[in-house]
């Protein structure tokens, strides 16, 4: 396997495959980055050897030309990539191949290409942040084009499963639409919500609770990165924003009249409940109903550990946990999420061990 681009994603793929015993070749236009990846044991410097699969893991804007380079390199290998935008990339690859001097070979070359997007990553890049398990259990979308050969699709699926990821096959348009809804729109909304805080008086900021915090968690994003993502998926992002703002605008209009029509609000909340129920649960299964057991905890080192040790000693599997800091006071509330059957035993065990509990609740 050849990995082109020894950054975070490329080096992580190489490390994952190396751990499975495969032969890896690496190349990068950045010599220092390549050197670092080689030293990390991700593979050997590429010197034109024959390969079965080439993985292009370079920035989105450079992906199409590098994919085409690989398709025309004469190795005959399958080629895939890792860019987060797929439709525009597929079209660019087709355009570049058609314009190539050897254009009669374009359909054959194109048959060896299968677009890919591992849904994993980290905030900061570089081979030194790579890890072999970066893709473990993560979705990895494959977007074969109409001309992709079954053998090329098979090679790419092999890559995904060897990296420990879960292959999901979608069309490029489906992928870009899904990312617009699940990633790009939420980012725009989180940033817009956070942006509104800039002009608010301090009194407003003092009243910010967990809801708005959760909804602006990703607002510290990188403006340049998001400009690039928006370039590759502009129409889908615009459509997703339009749909959201239309439904919000309807509510605002209903509320702005002389006698506000609050049915619009209950209809929106009701529609949200329906969509919310479609969110997949833990381990990709159906949503599971948890109970929340809230525990009042002094904000001191080791309290969370002691609490969880007591829960474990009672044989309770804590499925999730949320820490709520009380503003201005050195106490906090820890909410333990457990299966419904575990709430009562957990309650008894923690009370016996001296913890201050409040009634369990269904999660919000």
139 interacts with a copy of itself by CB under 8 A: yes
- In the list 30, 50, 122, 286, the residue contacting a copy of itself (rule: CB under 8 A) is 122
At 281, list the tokens.
């649960």
- In the list 50, 200, 348, 351, the residue contacting a copy of itself (rule: CB under 8 A) is 200
Q: Which stretch binds a copy of itself (CB under 8 A): 91-99, 153-161, 179-187, 347-355?
A: 179-187
How close are the terminal C-alpha atoms of the chain, in Å? 47
237 interacts with a copy of itself by CB under 8 A: yes
- In the list 74, 302, 341, 354, the residue contacting a copy of itself (rule: CB under 8 A) is 302
| Spatial distance between the Cα atoms of 127 and 179, rounded to a whole number of angstroms | 25
- Shorter beta-carbon distance to a copy of itself: residue 72 or 239: 239
306 interacts with a copy of itself by CB under 8 A: yes
CA 277 from centre of chain: 20
Q: Measuring CA to CA, how many Å separate 260 from each of 53, 69, 256, 272?
A: 62, 61, 6, 21
Q: How far is the CB of 68 from a copy of itself (least distance, A)?
A: 23
DSSP lists the bridge partners of residue 215 as none
Site map 317..356 versus a copy of itself, x via CB under 8 A: xx-xx-x-xxxxxxx------------------------x
- In the list 16, 26, 83, 190, the residue contacting a copy of itself (rule: CB under 8 A) is 190
75 interacts with a copy of itself by CB under 8 A: no
Q: How far is the CB of 104 from a copy of itself (least distance, A)?
A: 32
The answer to whether 351 touches 357, Cβ cutoff 8 Å, is yes
Q: 215-234: which residues touch a copy of itself (CB under 8 A)? A: 215-224, 226-228, 230-231, 234
Site map 261..300 versus a copy of itself, x via CB under 8 A: -xx-xxxxxxxxxxxx-xxx-xxx-----------x--xx
| Spatial distance between the Cα atoms of 168 and 329, rounded to a whole number of angstroms | 47
At 167, list the tokens.
């292959």
- Shorter beta-carbon distance to a copy of itself: residue 99 or 208: 208
173 interacts with a copy of itself by CB under 8 A: no
- In the list 27, 177, 346, 355, the residue contacting a copy of itself (rule: CB under 8 A) is 177
Alpha-helical runs (H) found in 164-302: 172-179, 185-197, 202-206, 210-215, 223-232, 234-256, 263-276
6 interacts with a copy of itself by CB under 8 A: no
206 interacts with a copy of itself by CB under 8 A: yes
- Shorter beta-carbon distance to a copy of itself: residue 100 or 353: 353
- In the list 252, 286, 340, 348, the residue contacting a copy of itself (rule: CB under 8 A) is 252
The answer to whether 317 touches 345, Cβ cutoff 8 Å, is no
119 interacts with a copy of itself by CB under 8 A: yes
153 interacts with a copy of itself by CB under 8 A: no
- Shorter beta-carbon distance to a copy of itself: residue 146 or 302: 302
CB atoms within 10 A of CB 303: 16
> Strand locations in the chain, DSSP E?
2-4, 25-27, 44-45, 53-56, 78-81, 113-118, 139-144, 166-169, 291-298, 320-325, 331-338, 356-357
Residue 354 phi/psi, 5-degree rounding, is: 90, 10
Q: How far is the CB of 7 from a copy of itself (least distance, A)?
A: 14
Q: Give residues with Cβ within 8 angstroms of 149, minimum separation 6.
A: 111, 112
> Strand locations in 7-68, DSSP E?
25-27, 44-45, 53-56
For a copy of itself (CB under 8 A), the number of binding residues is 139
Q: How far is the CB of 55 from a copy of itself (least distance, A)?
A: 21
CA 220 from centre of chain: 16
31 interacts with a copy of itself by CB under 8 A: no
131 interacts with a copy of itself by CB under 8 A: yes
């Amino acid at each position: 396997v050849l990995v082109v681009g020894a950054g975070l994603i490329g080096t992580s793929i190489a490390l994952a495959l190396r751990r499975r015993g495969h032969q890896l070749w690496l190349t990068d236009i950045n010599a220092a980055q390549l050197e670092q990846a080689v030293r990390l044991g991700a593979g050997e410097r590429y010197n034109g050897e024959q390969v079965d699969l080439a993985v292009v893991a370079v920035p989105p804007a450079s992906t199409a030309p590098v994919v085409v380079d690989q398709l025309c390199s004469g190795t005959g290998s399958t080629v895939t990539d890792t860019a987060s935008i797929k439709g525009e990339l597929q079209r660019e690859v087709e355009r570049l191949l058609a314009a190539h001097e050897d254009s009669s070979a374009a359909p054959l070359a194109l048959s060896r290409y299968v677009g890919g997007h591992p849904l994993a990553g980290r905030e900061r890049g570089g081979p030194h942040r790579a890890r072999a398990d970066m893709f473990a259990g993560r979705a990895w979308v494959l977007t074969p084009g109409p001309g992709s050969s079954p053998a090329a699709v098979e090679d790419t699926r092999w890559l995904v499963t060897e990296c420990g990821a879960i292959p999901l096959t979608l069309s490029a348009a489906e992928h870009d639409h899904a990312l617009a809804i699940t990633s790009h729109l939420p980012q725009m909304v989180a940033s817009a919500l956070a942006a509104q805080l800039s002009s608010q008086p301090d009194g407003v900021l003092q009243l910010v609770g967990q809801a708005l915090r959760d909804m602006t968690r990703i607002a510290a994003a990188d403006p340049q990165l998001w400009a690039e993502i928006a370039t590759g998926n502009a129409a889908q992002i615009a459509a997703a924003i339009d749909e959201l703002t239309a439904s919000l605008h309807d509510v605002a209009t209903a509320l702005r009249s002389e006698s506000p029509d609050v049915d619009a609000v209950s209809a929106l909340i009701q529609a949200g409940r329906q969509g919310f129920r479609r969110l997949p649960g833990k381990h990709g299964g159906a949503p599971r109903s948890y109970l929340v057991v809230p525990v009042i905890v002094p904000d001191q080192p080791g309290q969370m550990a002691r609490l969880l040790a007591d829960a474990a000693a009672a044989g309770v599997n804590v499925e999730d946990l949320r820490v709520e800091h009380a503003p201005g006071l050195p106490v906090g509330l820890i909410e333990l999420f457990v299966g419904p059957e575990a709430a009562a035993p957990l309650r008894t065990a923690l009370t016996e061990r001296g913890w201050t509990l409040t009634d369990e609740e269904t999660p919000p």
